[in-house]
């Protein structure tokens, strides 16, 4: 007789561990990194400070921040072997596929990829965070038919990333916006990619294997690919006056609107609120095309909230307004998920380091529905 078991599809509602890294309050629409409100971190902090906070569990003092920033700068360069990997991919390759392979190559440059020492793993995490930004910018350059640029250590992490991508040092406003994009995407508890990272590392695979698994899981449109899909939709809508018709038809055809809905948030994602506030700030300084996308996004947001917000708990998530903001920073849609991955490296690493304090191999069960004890026939006897 078949055993009765409860299956939690998509592990919905299942707690996998205890963590002090990130709290997502999906009912109230609140997000905290190590107890600090995301709004405060976005307004007053920097990506470097947030990385320190996530990895060490406390905000740094001035000296600690200077030392940490210097350490990150020293780790920005990538090896010729990694650059070759990026150059060898075809220009048609998807950027996240290139990142996955290039990131995997980082372990080859580490004489001892696995360590059970927490301080050593924090050093590896710093290396991964710094180098992934360089890799991401290099992928963007090669995709555009341009040469890879070396990091500029007079610039902070965000400004340097934009410089390595565009060959232009950004102004203060663009630097701040890029920093906010990095901060908002830095961490988000046990989402699919973080869980994938933990599953890989629960086997005591090294931290590089973990983040590579994270990149793989981030790829899909239900996770890291949603911002690119959202911008694609805004472009398809084409004109602001077409927004309501388009959304109406899409919903009638049971299509999902990318950048809306969340497994945990049943209200407005606080990261989306912060990003929305930046749309107004860039509107005056962006080209006509971006302004049009902003208008479309705001009309789509209003309509979705009216139709599905309160009634179905489907609200804008972090991926909805990111697109126009990335475009404003001269980041092309095909690079969005790669930039997301580059921001998230710190969250993935912080979780691995925490999980290894009390590691337990992930090994869930499935309810078997197939046959047993079938008679094995020789191939010549099979119909």
| Residue (50 or 318) nearer to ligand CMC, CB | 318
- Of the pair 71, 223, the CB lying nearest ligand CMC is at 223
Active-site annotation holds for 171: no
C-alpha 88, offset from chain centre: 25
C-alpha to C-alpha distance for 356 and 360, rounded to whole angstroms: 8
From the list 189, 194, 177, 224, the residue with the least C-alpha distance to 42 is 177
Rounded to whole angstroms, how far apart are CA atoms 101 and 82?
9
In the complex, minimum distance from the CB of residue 299 to ligand CMC, in angstroms, rounded to a whole number: 16
Q: Which of 185, 262, 328, 351 is catalytic?
A: 262
Q: Which residues bind ligand CMC (CB under 6 A)?
A: 10, 191, 222-224, 226, 256-263, 314, 317-319
Residue 32 DSSP class: E
Residue 45 or residue 191: which is nearer to ligand CMC going by CB? 191
- State which residue, 113 or 220, has the beta carbon closest to ligand CMC: 220
Nearest residue (CB) to ligand CMC, 205 versus 258 = 258
Tell me which residue has its CB nearest to ligand CMC: 261
How many other C-beta atoms are found inside a 10 Å radius of the C-beta of residue 156? 17
Q: How far is the CB of 371 from ligand CMC (least distance, A)?
A: 30
Q: How far apart are CA 183 and CA 269, in angstroms?
A: 15
Nearer to ligand CMC, 95 or 286 (CB): 95
Active site residue 109: no
Half-sphere exposure of 3 (CA within 13 A, CB side): 7
Catalytic residue among 227, 319, 337, 351: 319
Instruction: Report the nearest approach of ligand CMC to the CB of residue 154 (Å).
Output: 33
Q: Closest distance between ligand CMC and the C-beta of residue 193, in Å?
A: 8
DSSP class of residue 168?
Answer: S
Which segments within 15-173 are labelled E, that is strand? 22-25, 30-33, 36-37
- In DSSP notation, 65-105 reads HHHHHHHHHHT----HHHHHHHHHS-TTS-HHHHHHHHHHH
Give the nearest distance from C-beta 230 to ligand CMC in angstroms: 7
Minimum CB–partner distance for residue 337 and ligand CMC (Å): 9
Neighbouring CB atoms inside 10 A of 253's CB total: 7
Q: How far apart are CA 201 and CA 114, in angstroms?
A: 10
| Beta carbons of 215 and 93 less than 8 angstroms apart | no
The residues assigned a catalytic role are 262, 319
């Amino acid at each position: 007789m078949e055993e009765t078991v409860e299956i939690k599809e998509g592990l919905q509602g299942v707690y996998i561990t205890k963590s002090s890294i990130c709290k997502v309050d999906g009912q109230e629409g609140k997000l905290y990194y190590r107890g600090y409100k995301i709004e405060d971190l976005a307004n007053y902090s920097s990506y470097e400070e947030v990385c320190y906070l996530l990895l060490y569990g406390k905000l740094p003092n001035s000296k600690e921040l200077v030392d940490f920033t210097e350490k990150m700068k020293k780790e920005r360069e990538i090896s010729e072997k990694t650059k070759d990997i990026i150059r060898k991919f075809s220009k048609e390759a998807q950027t996240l596929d290139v990142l996955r392979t290039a990131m995997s190559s980082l372990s080859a440059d580490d004489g001892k990829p696995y360590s059970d020492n927490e301080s050593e793993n924090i050093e590896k995490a710093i290396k991964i965070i710094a180098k992934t930004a360089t890799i991401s910018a290099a992928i963007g350059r090669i995709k555009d038919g341009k040469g890879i640029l070396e990091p500029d250590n007079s610039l902070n992490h965000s400004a340097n990333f934009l410089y390595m991508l565009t060959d232009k040092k950004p102004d203060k406003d663009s630097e701040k916006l890029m920093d906010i994009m990095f901060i908002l995407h830095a961490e988000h508890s046990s989402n699919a990619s973080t869980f994938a990272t933990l599953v890989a590392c629960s086997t005591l695979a090294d931290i590089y294997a973990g983040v590579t698994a994270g990149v793989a899981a981030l790829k899909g449109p239900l996770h890291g690919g949603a911002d690119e899909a959202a911008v694609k939709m805004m472009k398809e809508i084409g004109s602001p006056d077409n927004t309501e018709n388009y959304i109406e038809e899409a919903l009638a055809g049971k299509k999902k609107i990318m950048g809306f809905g969340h497994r945990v948030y049943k209200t407005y994602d606080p990261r989306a609120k912060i990003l929305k506030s930046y749309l107004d700030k860039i509107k005056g300084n962006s080209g006509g095309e971006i302004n049009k996308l902003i208008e479309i996004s705001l009309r789509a947001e209003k309509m979705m909230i009216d139709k599905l917000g309160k009634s179905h708990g489907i609200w804008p998530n972090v991926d909805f307004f990111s697109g126009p903001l990335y475009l404003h920073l001269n980041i092309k849609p095909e690079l969005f998920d790669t930039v997301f991955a580059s921001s998230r490296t710190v969250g993935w690493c912080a979780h691995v380091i925490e999980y290894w304090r009390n590691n337990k191999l992930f090994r869930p069960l499935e309810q078997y529905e197939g046959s047993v004890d079938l008679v094995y026939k020789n191939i010549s006897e099979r119909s």
